[in-house]
Each structure stands twice: as C-alpha cells, then as structure tokens.
Structure 1
C-alpha cells in the first residue's frame, strides 16, 4: 500500500497487514531510541507518512514475535509506552492534513500532551498565537477534532435549555481551551469553528451551546481527605487480606501514585525542583540507637560497636515499617533525641547511640515534601485514568502522615508501606538509595532509611552473603539511661 501523500485508512491498513501499529514522531533522536528498542524484539518496516505532518514514521511489528517474548510494547520503557499509546490514540481518531490550518507552538499551550505533539516537530508554520515557528508548531485543528470526539464528552455536558444551572457554564471556546491548554483567542476560535463543522455528536456541539463540567466521584466528595484515605485503606486491605505478592491493583496504584509524585515540583530560590527527590552528599551525619537489656549488651557494643549498632544481618532482620522480615535496611535519624525516641524506651532503660556518616552521595525519595505547597505539571485531560490520578495527587498531601503512623508490634499494618518502599527501590527508574520521612515519635524529627548496596542475583544465592550499606561509624557509641518519658494527647 502506498503512503505518499493523500490520506491513508490506518485501521484498514493495520487490519490488512495483521500487524501491531506503533506511531512515533519526527524527532530523529527520539525515533532512534524507539527504533532501537523495538528492533530488539522484531524487524521493522518504516514508512514515511506526510499526512502525519512534516515527517513521521509508522513502526509495524509482527505481533507473534513481539508479544511472544515481552508483550505488545515490551521493548520500550514506561515513558515511551505511555507516549506511544497516547499518540496512537490521537492519530486513530483523526485524519491529519499535510498543511496546518491553525498552527500553535509549545509556548501557547499548558497541557503536557499537547506540548509533546509540538516537541516532535523540527519545523512548521508560524504559530497563529504568537507568530513563532522556528522551534516547531502543530495543528490545533487536529487536536480540536480529537478532543471533540473523545475528550470533551468524558468531562463536559451541554446545558439543556430550561435545565437548572449549577456551577460554572463554559462556551465551546472555553471548553477547548480547558482541555487543550491553549489560551490564545484566535486559536480557540479556529478550533471552535472546526468543532461546529464536524459531523459528530451533533447535539453536543450546536452553535451557541453552553457546557458544564461532569463531576467525578472525587469532585462530588464532601470530605476529599476522607475520600483519598478510603482509597489508601482499600489498597492496604487488598494487599493484607487479598493478593499480597501478585497484586495488579496495588501495582497499578503505586505506578500512578509515584508517576504523579515524580512530576510534582516544589518552589525554591533557585526555581522549581522535583518534590520527590532529596540529594545528600557523602558525609551526611545520622544517629542510630539500640535499646539494651543487660551489661552483656553494653560490653558487646563497646567491643564491636559498628557491627552491633549497624544494620542487622539477614537472619536477625525483623519486619519493620519499611522492610519485610529477612531484608535488612539501615534505619537512622537526623537527631540524637529522635533516634532515642524511635526505639521507644521505658524509664530506666539503657540506650546505646552511634553516630554514622554516609560514604557516598545518595538520592532519597522524600515523603515529607508533599505536605508543602508544590507546583504540579498540569494533569492532562488526555490521560486515560484521569480520576485515579486526581486521587493520587490528593493522596500525596497525606502520604507523609500515613507512612509514619505507629503500628503495635506483631501486627501486619506495615505491609503496605513495605510494598511501597520495595516499589520505590526496585521499580522506579530513578536510582533511589533510600527514603526520608517524618518521625512519629518526635514531632520535629526526621528519619532516614538507607537501602543496601546493589547486589546481583548470584550474591543473594550465597548463604554466607550479607548486604552492605554505604555508612560507617565515625565515633565511639554513647550510652544513655532513660529517666523520663513524655506523652501528649488530644480529646476525641
């Protein structure tokens, strides 16, 4: 089938060839990465397709070869899979003309997906909104058609004449601006004119109509905090009482939660910084405490302080807030008082405290930061799980409190936080070396958990292997006798 100019029925072509369609754009660097990733799984057929814009490629992968070894798009990383899926969805919905009718540049939209369409273009017509075009433009008409067919009906409904008005009403130009992130008046008018001419859902896009937002369950909730906490409890219950080790719903939840977490930004004097990340240089001083039972314990620590106050060996690693039994982690605190409070001593107990320092730079996932005001990348209407991501964003404000909640010894309430920290450690593409969270025992205290140095599978098979941690004891331990314990309370 020829693809030079004109229009191509993609669905018919894919059906005829019995192939899986992956669409990528015109930036050679990005296309090369996708090409290389897919080529590992199957041979490719690359076609130039002018109807997709200035330049584009269609990747056709034999499904029996790709799906059999690693899934439909298994050769790609998470970001590439997500982007390809969104782009494929858009191009299956519309027929893209060769020449743009209403070109826009990336500076004229705030929506991350609509920006991404521009990022693929090496050049284009001058932007209708600001006149710029040297960095690439895309056609707002294509975006408007796709929005009218698939996006607007999910989030907006037409106000019926005589129906009681509730909430803000939008003109079609305002609706298109909301879902595309394009605010320029001329561009919005051009998109509105195109939508009015489309032969799709005629009653929805009658000229002169006004629209109102369709509220999600989250929008309708009177107590949004209670709503998101209920979602956390549901996920916890599914892990605790349902599927603990192969829980797809929990995995999907964590993927959305941490995808939103990593897109959140905090304001600083040096500009916005990723909320999730706190980097610490080598030499970070941290305190670690141990409650002692006898003089023999004191003698043992005095002789082998680093071994006795460091992370426990595998066979002695008890389950804790962030780790399952048998998987040791290094727990510590920023302050001496905090680390003593964390071991929950009683009056008369003896506590040994060691001062450690890190031996290399470590990047931490910092749960505390989401309680502060943050700047978010706007949540795109084009994502398929919009409501779930709404909930995840709201949950991030509560996450620091949730993971710091105390659990009595012997209970299984730590299983959710254990699963979550394993997800951070093993599933996130960022190479996090630990987590930071607030202390529940000391209201101004900060706790650190440091992961062991990376090991390969062969090491884990060795029964004599013990994980190592990037920390070292930097002075002799100090011993304390507890002579007072304070508590605070509030009336229910």
Structure 2
C-alpha cells in the first residue's frame, strides 16, 4: 500500500463514535478503500487509536476458549463485518509490525501476530465509588434537596428503558421496564399478620380496606417508603407474601388476592441481573470504561435492593427509599412500581406499587379504559372472597457456611475473575 494513499474515510468503518471522530479529526482526501473523497485519516493514526483501545480493554491469553486472534477484535472494534476485510488486515499489519530501526533500538511490535487476546477483568470501581458517595450523602449529609444524589440516580437510570434480557425486538417480553396489563389479570397478593382472633375478624369484615395499603396517617417506614407515604407491598404468590412478614411460629397471617385496574409501568430489578443495554458501546469513546462500569454495576443492583435489613438497622432503608422516590416522582416517564426477588422465599417475587397508584387523589390522571375518567379509582383492587388464613407451623432456615478469619471481605468479591458477557 502506497503511504500517500494510506488513508481511510469515515464511511469505511461501522462504529458510530469512530465515524464522528474521523469526521472531526480528518481531512478531505480520497479513501484508499472505497475511492470516495471525504473526511479521512491515515492508517497509522487509526492504528494508534486501536492500539490504545486494545491496551485499555484487552490482555494476552494462552487459553483458546477465552481468547481470540487480533483480527477478530480489530474487526469488532472498527465495526467491520469480516475479519478478512482489507482495512482490518492493514490495521493489524501496523499493530504487529516493528521497523528495523525500532528493533535496533530494542523495540518490539505492539502486538503479537498470532497472539490471543481476551477482555481485561473490569471491576466497576468508579461506579461503586459513586454508589458509596450517594449512600453517604443521603444518610449522613442531606436527603432532601440532595442535588448530587439526584445526579447519581439520573446517571444510573438514564437509559434503563433500553435494557433487555435477550437481544430480541419484543420490548415487553424481555424488557427491564415492563408494562403490567390489567387485562392479563395477573394475580397479586398482600398479607397481614393477625395477633388475635379479633384482628382476623376485623380484616374479614372489610378486606378491601384492611388488606390494602394503609392510609398515610398509619403508613410506617419500609424498604420503599418513608413514614407517612403509603405504598402497596405485595407478592405474586401467597407463600412469598406470608414469608415477607417473618411471622413467628404459632402465629397467624391472613392473605388476599388483588388485581390491577389499569396498566402499570414497572421496573423489574430481577430482570436487570441478566439484562443488556442494547445501545452499542465504542471502545474509542473516552467514557467507554465508565459506561461499561455502569452497565456492570446495574446488573448487581438487584442484590443491593433485595438484601434483607436486620432488626434495629432500619436506617439502611433510607437508600432504597430515596431510589423509590426518584423512580416514582423524578424519573421521566415515572414508574408506577418495582419488582424484586424475595429475600425470605427463594424464587418468590415481590412487587411494590407507589403512592400515586394506590391514591384516590391522583388516580384520575392516569386512568385507562374501560374506566370512567371522571370517576376516581385506585390502580389496584381487592378480589372478593379470596381470603386465606395461614397458621404458621414451622420456619425453614437456609444458610451458607464459610470460614471466618476476621479479615474484611473483598468489596468486589461478587464479580467474577473474567468478563465473558460483554455487550458492546
């Protein structure tokens, strides 16, 4: 290839960020590959950019199952469909070539021609730091009017609508942000502990009111609400609903079924564990590392949300309370509720519906047919004759045994040694 022709235009690469970079940094010239005259850069400069990205995000490996050859990664990086593409070959040639002058000076090629490369282990250090700053800020500095806290949540949930479990086109089937349709009649359950027969009789007389979310005057602080803000805590099955109350052996619990009266928009934290953001990442983007960390951090967020809080440690709820308040009042469009796994019943799912869904005051704003928009109604209602009384006979404890040395646990121990699921 003639050096004076060794230029590539923005049209010959598929990575959108790289296209914009070439347009901004390049000069008008005839492209060596497509022969069109438009903004272009030298192969040497492009190779330098690729080398920087390779050093930042990849490492050598001798394990075939984990690594791929250089041309595979370069093709992916440039957005080329074929590893045999001429541009890919020329860039790889620059990366593995070392001039005679460099060799005499003790230099060597930047990469091995037949080497194998794999993604580096990336732990979301900066994302975790942001999370810890957020928790410290709202717990020990300022919860109300906490601008930095709001900025963190905007950064964290900014593109949450694009996260899905699988790479499909069915947005609701695999989406993290789901629409629960009233027409599907999904069963929801809510329970209350009964300390006496009188408690059970009171609930049985008016279950629609007594099993529903408490009025604001009686709403106690919980995982997703501060004191005085009522929300609906429920589950998708009775066993989970009962387990979440942590009733004592010999006690009684009454549960009832509820149904939605309108479609609701909810954030499913369980799906978030295995979700991918479909917006592609560019390794040429200076913010790429932080964006990768954010994606990885979000996939661990479910564990932070569902973790049980021990008695007398209820102040730990402050973090999730602020998150719920942000999702229900500040995020656009706002959420009607959240779904997360039960910490008390393995495999069970909890659902929390926010205040504006269960309130008569705001119901008219978000009604869906067939309800009369002039007639206020809540977003959820009790299903008559569905009461069940549960007598608690035993409690099953499950635990993991691990040796204890007194040393602090690695705060990043939850992350695997290597990333094999990057979603570029």
Superposition TM-score, scaled by structure 1 size: 0.57
The separation in 2 between residues aligned to 1:239 and 1:427, in whole angstroms, is 16
- Residue of structure 2 aligned with 1:379, choices 281, 284, 290: 281
Structure 2 distance, partners of 1:254, 1:102, is 39
CA change 1:315–1:276 in 2 (3 A) is same
TM-superposed CA distance for 1:129, in Å, is: 7.7
Q: Does 1:451 align with 2:361?
A: no
TM-fit CA distance, 1:114: 5.2
Cα distance in 2 for partners of 1:352, 1:225 equals: 43
TM-superposed CA distance for 1:355, in Å, is: 0.5
Structure 1 residue 404 displacement after superposition? 0.6
The CA deviation at 1:281 is: 1.4
1-side partners of 2:393 and 2:125: how far apart? 40
1:354 deviation in Å?
1.3
Q: CA deviation at 1:339?
A: 0.2
SS at match of 2:227: coil
Per-residue displacement from partner, 1:434-492 (whole Å, max 9, x unpaired)? 11111111001011111233799x979xxxxxx97401101232222212211112212
Partner of 2:323: 420
> Retained in 2: the 8 A contact 1:349–1:481?
yes
Cα pair distance change 1:453/1:250, threshold 3 Å: closer
Q: 1:277 aligns with which of 173, 177, 181?
A: 177
For 2:233 and 2:42, how far apart are their aligned partners in 1?
A: 50
CA–CA separation in structure 2 for the residues paired with 1:174 and 1:209 = 18
User: In 2, Cα distance between the equivalents of 1:480 and 1:394?
Assistant: 41
Tell me the equivalent position of 1:262.
161
Q: What is the CA distance between 1:294 and its match in structure 2?
A: 2.7
Q: Does 1:239 align with 2:138?
A: yes
The correspondence for 2:337, drawn from 434, 448, 451, is 434
Mapped partners of 1:226, 1:489: distance in 2: 29
Q: State the partner residue of 1:475.
A: 384
Name structure 1 gaps, 5 residues minimum.
1-99, 119-126, 132-136, 159-164, 194-207, 213-217, 461-466
Deviations 1:65-102 (A, max 9, x none): xxxxxxxxxxxxxxxxxxxxxxxxxxxxxxxxxxx973
Q: State the 1:250 CA deviation.
A: 3.2
User: How far did 1:265 drift?
Assistant: 2.8
Shift of 1:393: 1.4
The yes-or-no answer on 1:320 pairing with 2:235 is: no
Q: Is the 8 A contact 1:128 1:187 kept in 2?
A: no
Q: What residue ranges of structure 2 are gaps of 5+ in the alignment?
A: 1-6, 23-30, 62-67, 94-107, 113-118, 364-375, 403-424
Contact 1:352 1:480 in 2 (8 A): yes
Cα displacement (A) at 1:155 = 4.5
Distance 1:138 1:379 in 2: 28
Matched residues in 2 for 1:326 and 1:182: separation?
Answer: 56
| Kept after mapping to 1: 8 A contact 2:127/2:290 | no
- Counterparts of 1:309-388 in structure 2 under 5 Å? 309-372=211-274, 374=276, 376-381=278-283, 383=285, 385-388=287-290
Which whole-Å CA distance do the structure 1 matches of 2:43 and 2:203 have between them?
70
**Aligned pairs, how many?**
344
Deviation at 1:219, TM superposition (A): 5.3
Alpha carbons of 1:383 and 1:240: their partners in 2 closer, same or farther (altered >3 Å)?
farther
Please say if 1:484 is aligned against 2:394.
yes
Indicate the structure whose relative CO is greater, using CA pairs within 8 Å and at least 6 residues apart: 2
Is contact 2:357-2:378 (8 Å) kept? no
Tell me whether 357-366 or 242-251 shows the greater mean CA deviation: 242-251
Deviation at 1:116, TM superposition (A): 8.4
TM-score, with normalisation over the residues of structure 2?
Answer: 0.65
Displacement after TM superposition at 1:319 (Å): 1.5
The alignment's C-alpha RMSD in Å is 4.7
Report the Cα distance in structure 2 between the residues aligned to 1:241 and 1:260, rounded to whole angstroms.
29
Equivalent pair of 1:330/1:450 in contact (CA under 8 Å) = yes
Shift of the 220–472 alpha-carbon distance from structure 1 to 2, 3 Å rule, reads closer
2:187/2:237 contact within 8 Å kept: no
- Deviation, 1:189, is 7.8
Structure 1 CA distance for aligned equivalents of residues 42 and 318 of structure 2: 44
Deviation at residue 146 of structure 1 after TM alignment: 10
In the other structure, the counterpart of 2:291 is 389
Aligned to 1:413, the other structure's residue is in SS state helix
| SS of equivalent to 1:380 | coil
Query: SS of the residue aligned with 1:316?
Result: coil
Counterpart Cα distance in 2 of 1:248 and 1:143: 45
1:429, CA displacement in angstroms? 2.6
